[in-house]
Each structure stands twice: as C-alpha cells, then as structure tokens.
Structure 1
C-alpha cells in the first residue's frame, strides 16, 4: 500500500489561513505575559475566528463539534499551530484537554458528557489529567499508589500526584487511582472525574521547573503538585469500567504523541527560520555567517532532521488512519524519542548562531530551549521508547544456525560452491 500525505485544495486553504493567523494573531500574544484570566479574555475572539473557520477541536467527531479529521490532517494542523505554545489553546486542541475530550467521548456516560464534556468542548471548562506520582516511576503507569476505595454509593480517593499540567487553572481533574491492588498489573487502576473544588483535593503549588523557573499564580501551562485526602466522589465519577484505567489512558496517548511531534516540528521550523535569517545578515571575519561552512552544515543538518521527522510522523499518522493505533506503536515510539532530539538540536543551533542574543530573553529561543528539554520526558522518557522500538524490531530476528552470522563469507562461499558446482566445473 502506497503512502499518501497529500491534501485536497480546500484543506490546503485552511492550512494557509492557519499559518497567517498563527503568525499575525497568536505569536504577538506570547510577548504580553498575561495571567490565566487575562489570557482567556484575550483569546476568546481568536477562538471564535477558529470556530468560524470550522477548525475548532478538529480532532473530535462532527457530532461533538469537531471535524473528525484523521491523524494526517491533524498532524499537518498541529505543525502550524504548534509553532506557538498558545496555538493549541486557541484551536481547542491543547493538552491535556484534547485527550480528556477523547476519553470522555469514548467511555463517558450521557450524564458525564453533559456535565463535563460539553463545557470542555465549548471552551467554558478546562481540565487536567492526574497520572504521574513523585514516588513512583512515571514511565510505568501501572505502578501507582493513589487509591480509590468503594464507600457506599461513592468512592474515597487518597494520593499524591506530581507534575499535573494545568491543575491550578482547571475546572476538573481526571484522576487515575488503584481500585484493586491485587489485580493483574494492567487491571489495577480506574479513572475518576474529580471537580477542582472537591473537599480534600488541594493544588499544593505550581512547581518551578526549567520551563518556568518562577511560576506565577493563575498562569496557564504550569505543572502542579496535587494531593487528595479522603476526597469523596459519587459513583458516577467513575470513567468507564472498574479496572480500565490503564486501557483508557492508552487511548489518549497514541494520537497525542503524533500531535506532540508535529508541534515540535512547528517549533523546530520556527527556530530554523531564525537560524537562516541570522545567517543572511550577521557579519564575522569578512563575510556573512551564511558563507561559513560550519553554519551551512548547521542549516543542512537542521533541514534534513526536520524533514525526516516530518515524514516519520506523517507516516505514523497514516498508519493510524489506515490500520489503527495498535499497528502504529513502533512508529509512534520512533518519532517520540527522535522528535525530542530534533527539537533540541535545531533550537540549540539557532541559539548558537545568535550568540549572547540567543541566550537572552530578548528572543524566544531560550524559553523554547527550556521547554524542549521536557520533550524527552513527557508521555514517557526516551529510554522507554527506545527500548520499545528495539524490542519490536528484534521480534523479527532469530539466532542463525550454529550461531554463525548469516552473512559469514566463508560459510556462504562453501554453500555457493555447492550450489554452483556444475557451473564452476564447466567454466574451470
């Protein structure tokens, strides 16, 4: 089956509109340092423009207000809107809300959809997803300590969650908790919808990090420490079936990684443009930097890496569209660890060519660089994905006879002499 990443003319017009819209309307907002309340007001008219273009929450089915686009189209969109950290927010596809929408749509009850999904889709609500814990490896979502114990007609949740994106600006959190510690490891957990104002749920702090060294209160994009102490939720807070926590989590991760990588391509392209622009006018030792061999190597390497990542990511998206997420696991793991490296390396070169200016906060490169480091951690560290890729490839191989390499020339020569004995006798 041939690969096909082409787009029809009408969709290409949408992509062209997006490119101009992101550059002219969204990039300028990055410089204003707005808090969450100010930002929500500022982006409201932009979100309406996106809705008018029928591009709002395009990953969702039409009955939910989206376009039902496949992963290839969504990938091309995310490449454009991902050049700004505010892009996904304006287009209604920001993490973790996009993934939460998908699982609410997939396994939520009619009541849950009415109460939580509809306002999430409209942009009235925002949400968080609480899986990671400080004392348990984030790379192993089956190894959790947060518990949910049945109590009458509800559940009691206790636990300590860590690095929960947007918890401090969310209206509710989907919490993954252990409901049966004795079950098979992939059936131990379940998911629960917990309102942000539930008694016993505390957003302890916005965690200072490389990405945000001094987080301000009420700021979008922060990562939070969250505790749950005897938090009671009703029975209808359970998402899906008991024991489905891991399976539901996997529904949101595969396509989400496609979108991550395409957004990283958008960020990489933005840094690449800055790199090339600098090469055209900055003089050193008698010529512009673009005439130096080292700089040309940086440009060529960056262009090749971005193009390779884009093709790899679109191929993974195409596999999902044609054969489903399960068939794309190896491809998704490949782009996840390779994409983080490309993002880091291209931004690093762009900083280097700008010297101290690139290191300063007068350009967006330094903040892009700090955020890029997290790409090697989000949705599983590089090491987990590399291991997954290697294991997938090794399944196709087995030890050769007698443990002699299959390409061993003396062995092959002996076999060739036997195979062509008559011919060799004839031509001797």
Structure 2
C-alpha cells in the first residue's frame, strides 16, 4: 500500500481546501443568520445554493460516485481524504458538493439497481442537486439494528404496491426539497429465508398516504442543515410496481451494498471533525490563561492534544487501508475492516470532541462554537449504519471462526 496520495487526489485536495477556506467556513454563520429569517427552519438558506453553484463551477461536484458516467470516477482511496476535508464543516460542506447523506447512498442505489426510467425520473435530478431524497428503513417498534426485524409491509395489488408502516429518524425528510423516499419493507414476511423477505420501493413524497409526522431531535438538536430526521407514516400508500428497486426479495442485499461506502464516508468525515476539534483546542489553549499561565502550558491539556493527534493518525490509517481494500478486493473482502473503522472511528472522535468541549468550558457547550453539535453528530454515528455492538458481534464471530 502506497501511503502517498496520487496526483489527482492531491490536486483535488488543494482545490477543496481552498474552497473550504474561501467559501464554506465563512458561510457557516451566514447560513445560521439566514435560517433564522426563513419562514420555516427546514427551508434551505440562500447561501447553500450559492455554495452549490460555486462547487459545480469549480468541478467539485458528485465526488463520491465512483461511476465516471455519473460522478467524478474516483476510487474509495481517492475520495477518502476529500470526505475528510468536508468533515471540517459536516453540516454545510457535503451538501455544497452534492455529497451529503442520505442522497449519496440513494444515488449509489439508483446507479447500481435503478431502471432507466427510475434513473431519469430520480437519479438525474439528484445528481444535478435539484432535489433531495430520504432512505426509510429504521422503525421505532422493533430493534432495527437487525434489519430483518422491520415490520413495514409492502403488498402487491395488481399493478401497484401498497405500503403500510411507521419509520423514524428518516434523515432529510423534513427538507421541502426531499421529493422521494427509498422505502424498505417486507414483500414476503413469511418467506423461509429471512434475508429475502425485504424489498425496496421508490415512494414519491406527495403520494397519498405518506405523512411526514414530526422532526426527531438528536441530543436536543433538530439538525435543520441536514433536513432533519423525521418520523414518517405510510398508510396504505400506493405506488406502481415499476417503482420496485432491483428485484423482490433483494432489499436486504441492496441495503448492505448501500451501507459499505456510506460507512467509510462517515468515518472520513468524522476524522475531519476531529481535525477541526484539535485546531480549536490548540487555538483555545494558546489564547486562554488559567492559574497564572496559558492553558497550553497545563500538563493535562498537552496530554489531551497529544492523545488526540495519535488517535486521529491511527484511525485515518485504518480508514485509508479499508478504502484501499474496498478498491482492490471489494466490499466483501474488506468486510472486517469496514466494521473495524465503524467501531473505532466514532469512539475516538467522540473522545476528542469531549475533551475539546472540556477545554472550552462553558463555551464548549454553547452555540458560539461548533463543538457541542459536532459531538452530538459523532455520538449518533455510534448508532447509525449499525450500532457498535452489532459490528463487534459480527467481527468477533469472524475472528473466532478461524479457531473453531
């Protein structure tokens, strides 16, 4: 494995770093001020549209898609350091580059499994950044860490599918630009193979029977910048059978294909969040004085900063190795490493952010610094895309299998 980034990655990194410094970071406060003046907090501030237009103009658009027909054609290893950079402003930068979840995963699904008609109707406007989307899998009544538990029912009646069920924490669904859901439910709830009971269907937001009921909070935050995390009820919602994604019974496999790249994207953005936390820690440490000397001269603060640097370097190398394996042996071959980064990275970044909050005192939990909101986002990623314990269980069983 070559630890150096290739020429194209270095060139894109330089352009993206400049874009962040010149456009994204200065826009953070502008976006908040504009949002406060909007008729609805879920509407998109004007500055976001300006950032998207500038990103397209600079060729920093759809960088996440490895399919050159639709995206930048980058490998996982090439995209990983770019995703890290966007993690420095996770509530603004990914959206500006059209690289924000859940749209990224949905575009990947449509690229791989969508029909020509589905691509024209939904993928093309998503690629253009004209609409947003949501992925509806998690449910409140069951342990959704085991996706075979989902209870949303999708039954066929003639040329239509009828969807009934209740979902929650459906990211992006509060955004009025969210026009379509990819819904996972059971088309064969009594099937012998529990991993072939599920299917995915495309459900337009304006379909009768679809109710976006409320925004779910995350540690008190409604996460307006990401379009919220909604509770959504499907009450006998009807869509044409042509809205099936892939094949009946293929929903579980599609979900697994969707989550592999998503996990590495999350982990690289997390590292960017940690880098911003370290920067804020260092600035705070040299600017503040306590008990007669700068915080930077306090031994415990030096330990926090040193440990944070070590932790970031460790998880970055593990994530880059995982990206390299995904490119060379495929997602299945990199399964152990994908689970390892999903366990290790959020834990490490939560710890770093917690120490950064501590160093900032009351300011650390305030709205004057991004640390509290970053902590909430990082802590949530110990649950999203599978909780730590599910990945630990699977990884341990794979390790033990070699000795049994």
TM-score, normalising length from structure 1? 0.88
**Contact 1:212/1:222, CA 8 A, preserved across alignment:** no
**Contact 2:346/2:382, CA 8 A, preserved across alignment:** yes
Partner residue in 2 for 1:150:
156
After superposition, give the CA deviation of every residue in 1:371-404 in whole Å (9 maximum; x if it has no partner). Answer: 2220111101111111122122222224xxxxxx
CA RMSD in angstroms comes to: 1.5
The SS at the match of 1:241 is coil
Partner residue in 2 for 1:252:
258
Q: Does 1:204 align with 2:207?
A: no
For 1:281 and 1:154, locate their aligned partners in 2 and report how far apart those are by CA, in whole Å.
Answer: 64
Partner residue in 1 for 2:38:
none
Partner residue in 2 for 1:24:
22
Superposed displacement of residue 43, structure 1: 2.1
After superposition, give the CA deviation of every residue in 1:125-174 in whole Å (9 maximum; x if it has no partner). Answer: 11000000001112111111101111011111110111100112210000
Structure 1 runs, 4 residues or longer, greater than 3 Å off: 35-38
Partner residue in 1 for 2:10:
12
Partner residue in 1 for 2:183:
175
Give the direction of change, closer, same or farther, for the CA distance of 1:67–1:5 in structure 2 (3 Å limit): farther
**Contact 2:173/2:227, CA 8 A, preserved across alignment:** no
Superposed displacement of residue 295, structure 1: 1.1
Q: Which residue of 59, 63, 87 maps to 1:58?
A: 63
The SS at the match of 1:149 is strand
TM-score, normalising length from structure 2? 0.93
Structure with bigger gyration radius: 1
Give the direction of change, closer, same or farther, for the CA distance of 1:38–1:224 in structure 2 (3 Å limit): closer
For 1:360 and 1:44, locate their aligned partners in 2 and report how far apart those are by CA, in whole Å.
Answer: 27
The SS at the match of 1:185 is coil
The SS at the match of 1:228 is strand
Partner residue in 2 for 1:105:
111
For 1:154 and 1:351, locate their aligned partners in 2 and report how far apart those are by CA, in whole Å.
Answer: 52
- Uncovered stretches (5+) of structure 1, i.e. residues with no partner: 399-428
**Contact 1:5/1:72, CA 8 A, preserved across alignment:** no
Superposed displacement of residue 83, structure 1: 1.2
Give the direction of change, closer, same or farther, for the CA distance of 1:205–1:153 in structure 2 (3 Å limit): same
Partner residue in 2 for 1:380:
386
For 1:293 and 1:329, locate their aligned partners in 2 and report how far apart those are by CA, in whole Å.
Answer: 40
Q: How many residues align?
A: 391
After superposition, give the CA deviation of every residue in 1:331-381 in whole Å (9 maximum; x if it has no partner). Answer: 011111111111111111111111122222211112112222201111011
- Uncovered stretches (5+) of structure 2, i.e. residues with no partner: 36-40
Q: Does 1:125 align with 2:131?
A: yes
Partner residue in 2 for 1:406:
none
For 2:398 and 2:337, locate their aligned partners in 1 and report how far apart those are by CA, in whole Å.
Answer: 10
For 1:333 and 1:311, locate their aligned partners in 2 and report how far apart those are by CA, in whole Å.
Answer: 15
The SS at the match of 1:202 is strand
After superposition, give the CA deviation of every residue in 1:274-328 in whole Å (9 maximum; x if it has no partner). Answer: 1111222222223212222211111111000000010000001000001000011
Superposed displacement of residue 75, structure 1: 0.7
For 2:174 and 2:247, locate their aligned partners in 1 and report how far apart those are by CA, in whole Å.
Answer: 28
Matches within 5 A, 1:302-341: 302-341=308-347
Superposed displacement of residue 243, structure 1: 0.3
The SS at the match of 1:161 is strand
